[in-house]
Amino acid sequence: MKQMRCGIYSRVSTSKQEAENQLRQLHEFARALGWHVDAAHEYVDQITGKHSDRPEFQRMFADASQRKFDVLLFWSLDRMSREGALETLQHLNRLTGYGVQWRSLTEQYLDSTGMFRDAVISILAVVAKQERVRLSERTRAGLERARAHGKRLGRPRGWRKQGAVSRVTEWRRQQRDNAKGALCE
């Protein structure tokens, strides 16, 4: 059997925090499973997990898309992402789409490497679908509340005639006329 190439993702929220505790335990766990961890496939961010534009997070996904490792090991789901259930599950699904398995060290049920892989992915898909439904319901409720308070939604009437487009066109015309006038003087 081929030895699994393991990528490790670790994150702490600020540069004042250390990821060493996470990394040590992740490396020990990978070694215990016989997984090979190359230093080039260790990804550590020291930034909030609210957004996915984290440098090492992006590098990890770029490497995953090129199958530079077979499995991604992370401390816990909240270390992977704090973007919300739907976005986090989409990240896991993206890894699965790249053919990369994933596993949480502290949440044993979050494991796409075992025999319950299909069950775990199916359950996460249902959770993601429910999150999309809830998001849609919250959006609709917010729009209804805004309408109830007299807020007009959508583009203003006649926005093309009276809006930004005509102001920009007029400004450009004035600039052109001013440039012509300066040349004639």
pLDDT band at 155 (very low <50, low <70, confident <90, very high): low
Instruction: State the average pLDDT over residues 151-167.
Output: 65
* Side-chain half-sphere CA neighbours of 171 within 13 A: 6
The domain locations on the chain are 5-114
Let me know: does 100 contact 121? Beta carbons within 8 Å: no
Where residue 156 falls among pLDDT bands split at 50, 70, 90? low
Ramachandran category for residue 99: left, alpha or beta (phi over 0 → left; psi -120 to 50 → alpha): left
What 3-state DSSP class applies to 153?
coil
User: Which pair of structure tokens corresponds to residue 55?
Assistant: 């440098």
Q: How far apart are CA 57 and CA 7, in angstroms?
A: 11
What average pLDDT does the segment 42-53 reach? 90
Residue 40: pLDDT band with limits 50, 70, 90: very high
Q: Is pLDDT of 119 > 90?
A: no
What pLDDT was estimated at residue 34?
Answer: 94
Strand order in the sheet with 71-74: 36-46, 5-12, 71-74, 101-104
Pull the structure tokens for residue 164. 């930004």
CATH superfamily of domain region 5-114: Resolvase, N-terminal catalytic domain (3.40.50.1390)
pLDDT at 9: 97
- 49 compared with 167, residue with greater pLDDT: 49
Q: Determine the Cα–Cα distance for residues 123 and 146; give it in Å rounded to an integer.
A: 35
Q: Does the pLDDT at position 88 exceed 90?
A: no
Tracing tokens 């009437």 back to the chain, one arrives at 157
Q: How many CA atoms lie within 13 A of 180 on its CB side?
A: 6
Instruction: State mean pLDDT over 134-139.
Output: 79
Contact 47, 54 (CB under 8 A): yes
Nearest-angstrom CA–CA distance, 69 and 67:
5
- Of 19-23, 81-85, 137-141, the range with the highest mean pLDDT is 19-23
Q: Report yes or no: 70 and 6 within 8 Å, Cβ to Cβ.
A: yes
Mean pLDDT over the full length of the chain: 84
